[in-house]
Amino acid sequence: MSGPPGSSFMGTLRRRLRSLRQPRHLSAPFLPRLRQEAHGLIWFASQLVRSPREVGAICPSGQSLARGMAALIPETPGLVVEFGAGTGVVTQAILDRGVARDRLLVIEYSPRFCAILRRKFPDLTIIQGDAAKLSSYLPPDARIAAIVSSLPLMSLPKQTRASIIAQVRSVMRQEGCIIQFTYALWAASPFRRAGYQPDSRKIILLNLPPARLERFRIAGQNPAASTLRDCAIR
């Protein structure tokens, strides 16, 4: 049965007004996501002011760069370690790429960024720590498929950079790879200078600023590959 004359008209009008107040394209997941992005930007900027050398970027990576990094993760079994997750743009791209949550280990130096990451990804393993102590966070039998690094290697202190590269070398087996970007488009990567060979390289122009994205593999046999247990600091 229909209601009194005019009631359906009023109902339609009410519905129209409601939908105008909340346009379709701004509905459900869009607004929370936009709020989250804006929130992330503010946190990023405030952390940049506090620790410019550690943050080393004017804003979080864009989608092209984040997806480009994730696309380089090989199919080989093993852990995926993310260095310097910041507000989680690359973390999300890694998950979107299909990496299982229990294969991903995130290491982020800043406690403030870690708080954001834990809110965004409550079911991920997020370690507030230093990439230069990588081995101390790994299980003894860890096999690493890829390290996805957003670390600003060029702006970090020389000693920290050297320790990070030494740690990567000590835990990485032959089949593992390192995915790293830099804004220094023409400068040689510290990984390259440490004897790693790039097997993929591209410039991502659709990023602010444009970035060079590379994937490195260890050249020749890594003598420390089978001694993860020995080098773990516990």
Phi/psi at 64 (5° precision) = -65, -45
Nearest distance, CB of residue 42 and ligand SAM, angstroms:
14
Q: Is 137 in the site for ligand SAM (CB under 6 A)?
A: no
Query: Of 109, 131, 110, 90, whose CA–CA distance to 46 is shortest?
Result: 110
Is 108:114 a contact under the CB 8 Å cutoff?
Answer: yes
Selected binder of ligand SAM within 73, 145, 151, 172 (CB under 6 A): 151
Is 179:72 a contact under the CB 8 Å cutoff?
Answer: yes
Nearest distance, CB of residue 78 and ligand SAM, angstroms:
20
Q: Is 112 in the site for ligand SAM (CB under 6 A)?
A: no
- Maximum CA extent, the chain: 85
Q: Is 73 in the site for ligand SAM (CB under 6 A)?
A: no
28 vs 205, which CB is nearer to ligand SAM? Answer: 205
Selected binder of ligand SAM within 43, 54, 172, 212 (CB under 6 A): 54
For the chain, the residue count is 234
- Give the sheet arrangement for strand 104-108, strand by strand: 125-128, 104-108, 79-83, 144-149, 177-182, 211-218, 196-204
Site for ligand SAM, residues 159 to 188, rule: CB under 6 A: 160
Nearest distance, CB of residue 180 and ligand SAM, angstroms:
11
Q: Which residues of this protein are in contact with ligand SAM, per CB under 6 A?
A: 54-57, 60-61, 83-86, 89-90, 107-110, 113, 130-132, 150-152, 160
